[in-house]
Structure 1
Amino acid sequence: MLAIIWHSRTGAAQAMAQAAAQGAAQAGAPAQLLLAEQINPAQCIAAQGFLFVCPENLGSMSGEMKAFFDRCYYPLLEQIEGRAYATAIAAGTAGQGAQAQIDRIVTGWRLRRVAPPCIILTGADRPDSILAPKALPHTALQKCRELGQLLASGLEMGAF
């Protein structure tokens, strides 16, 4: 099972997570959307692989996604080593800060990146556009569907 662990503030990351889940379903593979604020270590242990989806806020991952890592990091040490992961970041103009932060954290879990980072830029760079609800273009959502398809099918075939 692919665990799609997500958090969203304005809808962009949520749409990305849902698109990835659609892609996994198209591949005929099980995936579960798990809200970062609610997930527990047992749910992570049950997963074969992970897709972490969140917005970049102030150059780092959202606080709720960080809280997930804070809550689950130590209970999962030596429990999920070698499992596949990928990331999808919704960002206004960059995304690399959140990306690097997640990569650093999962290094301790010894997860294996199996797909390049997926960073979707919304162009939001002013208070009104940053806080506004986001609607992503079809091309961005298609990229997320393809990522979900890749991860889920790779897990199903044992490629990861």
Structure 2
Amino acid sequence: MARLLIVHHTPSPSVQTMLESVLSGARNEDITGVEVDTRPALGATVPDVLAADAVVLGTTANIGYMSGALKHFFDTVYYPCLTDTAGLPYSLYVHGNSDTTGAVRAVEGIASGMSWQRHRPPVTVVGDPDGDDRDSCWELGAVTALAALEHAGEE
């Protein structure tokens, strides 16, 4: 069975809405053979990442950067996972009150340094998520679950 790991920092109702949409897409009944594992960024571990066939990262944009919780996740897993997770497909969603650019750039820089492969362009939302934003998050979850299946088949 393929494993999709969703690592998130969800401190607000807007980010909760985005997470729920990602989970709904990832757990779509038409996608079989994928176990969805959800972890708060402060609780995600090296074994979680090593067992994953794809990762969805979710964060807020805080003062022009990713959340401290997601940064802590990367600080925890970077070196232990660096060589064993090269090529891992990942996707990203970011919520901000005014801008998401710095958070996206920071996450993509670290993921690139780990040789992870961005599977989809990030879903970024400024303000309250609307129907289109929820649909984009749903699609992000679904296609990243499919990427986990594909990646598991390559191993």
RMSD: 1.7
Distance in 2 separating the partners of 1:156 and 1:42: 19
Q: Cα deviations across residues 19-67 of structure 1 (Å, max 9, x unaligned)?
A: 1111011133322211101111001000001111010011000111111
Equivalent position of 2:12 in the other structure: 10
Equivalent position of 2:143 in the other structure: 150
SS at match of 1:30: strand
One-letter amino acid of the structure 2 residue matched with residue 15 of structure 1: T
Please show how residues 119-138 of structure 1 align to structure 2 within 5 Å: 119-122=124-127, 136-138=129-131
Is the Cα contact below 8 Å between 2:93 and 2:137 reproduced in 1? yes
How many residues are aligned here?
148
Q: Cα deviations across residues 62-107 of structure 1 (Å, max 9, x unaligned)?
A: 1111111111111111010001011100011221100000011111
Is the Cα contact below 8 Å between 1:6 and 1:14 reproduced in 2? no
Is the Cα contact below 8 Å between 1:24 and 1:30 reproduced in 2? no
CA offset at residue 155 of structure 1?
A: 2.4
SS at match of 2:86: coil
Equivalent position of 1:61 in the other structure: 66
TM-score (norm 1): 0.85
Is the Cα contact below 8 Å between 1:90 and 1:120 reproduced in 2? yes
Counterpart selection for 1:21 from 20, 23, 26 = 23
Please show how residues 22-61 of structure 1 align to structure 2 within 5 Å: 22-26=24-28, 27-28=31-32, 29-61=34-66
Distance in 2 separating the partners of 1:119 and 1:136: 9
Counterpart selection for 1:106 from 111, 114, 124 = 111
Is the Cα contact below 8 Å between 1:86 and 1:116 reproduced in 2? yes
Identical pairs, percent: 25
Is the Cα contact below 8 Å between 1:17 and 1:33 reproduced in 2? no
Equivalent position of 1:97 in the other structure: 102
Distance in 2 separating the partners of 1:157 and 1:44: 17
Counterpart selection for 2:134 from 113, 124, 141 = 141
One-letter amino acid of the structure 1 residue matched with residue 89 of structure 2: A
Unmatched segments (≥5 aa) in structure 1? 123-134
Unmatched segments (≥5 aa) in structure 2? none
Mean Cα displacement is larger for which, 33-42 or 20-29? 20-29
Distance in 2 separating the partners of 1:144 and 1:155: 17
